[in-house]
Amino acid sequence: MIMKNSFLNKPAVDRPQTPPPPPPPRHAKAAASKPEADVDISSSENGTKSPSFVVVGNARQDAEFVFQRDLAKTKQISLCSLIGHYLGTPQSCKYTASELYRILGRLRCLAHAIQKYNSGLGTDSPEFLQYWQPHTLDLLSGFGFHPGSDQTPIIIEGLEEMMKHLEEIFEQEISASKLLLKDGLISFDCLGELFRPESPVKAITGVGSECVYRIIDSYYDERKSIHGLRKSFHLILECVVLVGEHFSVSSFSELIPAWGGPCYQKLGEFKYQPISDDERKLFQLRGESCVRLGYGGAKYLAYNSNTFYPHVGQSQGRSSLMSMAKRNSPAPGSGRVMVDMIRGPCLGHYPCLGVDEASLSIIKLIGRYQQWLSKSSQANKPELSDFIAWDTVPPEFVIFCWPTLVGFSFAAKSWGHVLVEGLSPIEFSDHAFDRLVLSHERKEIIRALVQQGTMNHNQDIISNKQGGLIFLLHGPPGVGKTLTAEAVAEVLHRPLYYVTMGELGTCPVDLEARLSDILNLCAEWNALAVLDEADVFLEIRSNSDLARNAMVCVMLRTLEYHPGILFLTTNRVQTLDPAFESRVTIALRYQSLDCDGRQKVWRNQLDSVNIHISPDIDVHALGNYLLSGRQIKNAVRLSLNLAASQQSPLTQEIILKILGVISLGCQNMKEDETWNQ
């Protein structure tokens, strides 16, 4: 199981003092009062089966439950043994009603598990086989219980009767608690009715989204201290987490001390809250999305704004919990992410953030899962009894799925976790390649190469050379080199990874390790890689700069064995080392845009705007301005901003005004004597 229930082996402690009892209920049942020494329930006068307990006392103030002691011949768990373990007094057989009321939540959780176990006998339901059977047997293992056969129901004589008796004795308190919760208020005495095994609760997690938890244990506790009697409420909750190739169950404990000040609090301000029927449906849908999007290997998806949380402040791929707790802001924009619950945790990235109990339990769970995988691969037979590992989530537990998944954002260039409700399929621009301002022959060559991919029709003599594709795109700035790589990625519906100098560094050792990691990751994800300004790393070697020579050698060797598709762009092709020429699959030169090319770029940019365009815009006239493709894109963007601020359509006048500002800026840059210093 995920977590052994330590309360089953709780050491014996002094019995806590009973608080002053409230007035007796209207329907309290009690037997005739007699001293404990005179009570004997080990046998009955007519030879029938003796009861598991009797109630001594004629009022709730002095009502006590006397239990039958363990019978050596019975194979079932005795109620006396159960109560003794739960209250930490295994030698006693008599308890007050108030003592038992404090563990009513624990008794409810156990009875709920037994009911699920017994109802699942003889069925092949995934809920029973994958959870309730191992969970219930684990709960009872602390009592030395082992079922006689797979079809033997579990019966604890007197458990249901005792719980019913307690609920009748404390009927007023239970009814008052339910009414208070219904009115949107909560008190410390209401916690037992809020945390019931059949009623899930929700709470805001450290990742900024609500999670639904199942209650597997809850009870009140009272202990003496130097400050008097200290009351607290204990509970154990669990949720379902995708830990890699499997789903598992993460359990954690919470302690809620009795609060001072006002007796009642607003339920909406309490950490844990009940869920409505409408919320249950929404959480069920989110859980189904989590199972669908997270399971089955890496998936390339889109995420909405403020739903991706980068894992910053990390070193060597290992997470720093304190830095994660301090820097838990989401990335401001939307983007695309590769959800990968297998590689992410292996690199120290988890679907949680912070140092709260829920997050820490998930981190520990993933660590246990990786150990379980290691042992399973060695023995070639997983020990399913030691660890819950689901290939799919049983329908009953889908609602409890953790709200985030681990992924790599190509926009933020960072690993992190992403909210499930923010994920959606990507809407690819399938016509982006057709809109490239390139000759038809160039497009056909590029399309043929990338569609065939890295298929080894002609195997290299050296078998471990992977036969990837390396495109060298060279030409002046703003003519569509990087846009070509972006358009190819859109057509292939594949990720595009931008490799920057900041990621690679300038140390040859770091360069080799980081570049290899990036290219291997791209190969695993079937992603295209783009290395802009490649001349920085592939400049002609010299006799005086050994460090740069080492960097060039690293690049040449790494590119030789890259199995995927890599685009290299540069506007200084003359400075590239001659040895690099043989590594290139194809080199394409991009010329400066002519008038027709500029008109096409203007038309493509204007066709993609989402505001009204005035019919007076003359694309032919705009094409006469000597601008690069990037400058045209910037001009359209600035014109849109100006039109929006004026609350007017996009007109020729607005565009010409922006072009005047751009021309003046370029002229000032050329005239600035500090520009070339």
Which of 557, 573, 589 is at the close of a domain?
Answer: 589
Specify if 259 maps to a domain: yes
573 and 479, same structural domain?
yes
Please report the pLDDT score of residue 37 as a whole number: 43
Q: Are residues 617 and 515 in the same domain?
A: no
Residues 309 and 223 in one domain: yes
Query: For 85-116, how does the pLDDT look when each residue is reduced to its tens digit (9 = 90+)?
Result: 999 898 889 999 999 999 999 999 999 999 99
Half-sphere exposure of 598 (CA within 13 A, CB side): 19
Whether residue 243 sits in one domain with residue 347:
yes
The answer to the question of residue 233 being in a domain is yes
pTM for the predicted model, two decimal places: 0.83
Q: Are residues 367 and 452 in the same domain?
A: no
| CATH number of the domain where residue 500 is located | 3.40.50.300
Residue 249's closest CA among 107, 116, 402, 406?
402
Is 195 part of any domain?
no
Q: Are residues 313 and 334 in the same domain?
A: yes
Q: What is the pLDDT of residues 119-141, one digit of tens each?
A: 999 888 888 888 998 899 888 88
Q: Name the domain boundary from 527, 560, 589.
A: 589
Residue at 177 is within a domain: no
- CA quadruple 418, 419, 421, 423: dihedral, nearest 10: 0
* 453 within some domain: yes
Q: What value does the mean pLDDT of the chain take?
A: 84
DSSP calls for 190-227 = GHHHHS-TTS-EEEE-TTSSEEEEEEEEEEEEEEEETT
Indicate whether 554 belongs to any domain.
yes
Predicted confidence (pLDDT) at residue 313 exceeds the cutoff of 70? no
Phi-psi region of 453 (alpha: psi -120 to 50; beta: other; left: phi over 0): left
Per-residue pLDDT tens for 56-84?
876 666 788 999 876 544 567 889 989 99
pLDDT value, residue 262: 74
Q: Note the pLDDT of residue 5.
A: 37
- Whether residue 253 is found in the same domain as residue 395: yes
The DSSP secondary-structure symbol of 650 reads B
One-letter amino acid of 167: E
pLDDT digits (tens, 9 = 90+) for 519-546: 999 999 999 999 988 888 888 888 888 8
Which of the residue ranges 68-72, 509-513, 572-576 would you say has the lowest mean pLDDT?
68-72
Q: Strand, coil or helix: what is 442?
A: helix
Q: What is the pLDDT of residue 612?
A: 87
Confidence tier at 22 by pLDDT (50, 70, 90): very low
User: Coil, helix or strand for 326?
Assistant: helix
Share of the chain above pLDDT 70, in %: 84
Residue whose structure tokens are 């050596």: 72
pLDDT for 157-209, tens place per residue?
999 999 999 999 999 999 999 999 999 999 999 999 999 999 999 999 988 89
Same domain? For 211 and 360 the reply is yes
Co-location of 510 and 580 in the same domain:
yes
434: in domain: no
In this predicted structure, the answer to whether residue 466 has a pLDDT above a threshold of 90 is no
- Please name which of 650, 632, 630 lies closest in space to residue 640, comparing C-alpha atoms: 650
Kindly tell me if the per-residue pLDDT of 298 is higher than 90.
yes
Q: Which domain holds residue 573?
A: 440-589
pLDDT tens per residue across span 333-380:
899 999 999 999 999 999 987 788 999 999 999 999 998 888 776 655
**Running DSSP on this structure, what letter comes out for residue 480?**
S
Which of helix, strand or coil describes residue 405? Answer: strand
Q: What's the rounded mean pLDDT across residues 635-641?
A: 93
Task: State whether 316 and 357 are in the same domain.
Answer: yes
The pLDDT of residue 3 is 40
Residue type, 159: L
Residue written as tokens 């199981």?
1
Poorest-confidence range of 233-242, 449-458, 618-627, 656-665?
449-458
Residues 92, 84: contact at Cβ < 8 Å? yes
Q: Confidence class of residue 675 from pLDDT cuts 50, 70 and 90?
A: low
36-59 pLDDT, tens per residue?
A: 444 555 544 555 567 888 988 766
In this structure, which amino acid lies at residue 261? G
Q: Are residues 489 and 390 in the same domain?
A: no
Q: How far from 36 is each of 49, 80, 87, 93, 163, CA to CA, in Å?
A: 21, 15, 19, 10, 22
Angle (CA) 575 579 583, round 5°? 105
Clarify whether residues 378 and 282 are in a common domain. Answer: yes
Alpha-carbon gap, residue 170 to 187, rounded angstroms: 16
For residue 136, give the amino acid letter: T
34-38, 344-348, 399-403, 446-450, range with the lowest pLDDT: 34-38
Residue 322, Cβ density class (10 Å: 0-12 exposed, 13-18 middle, ≥19 buried): exposed
C-alpha distances in Å from residue 462, one per residue of 512, 519, 560: 21, 20, 11
Q: Residues 604, 567: contact at Cβ < 8 Å? A: no
Looking at the predicted structure, is the pLDDT value of residue 300 above 70?
yes
| Average pLDDT value for residue range 535-564 | 86
Distance of CA 71 to the CA centre of its chain: 49
CATH classification at residue 634: 1.10.8.60
Q: Which of 559, 589, 619 is the last residue of a domain?
A: 589
pLDDT, tens only, 644-660: 999 999 999 999 999 99
Establish if 189 belongs to a structural domain: no
The domain tally of the chain equals: 4
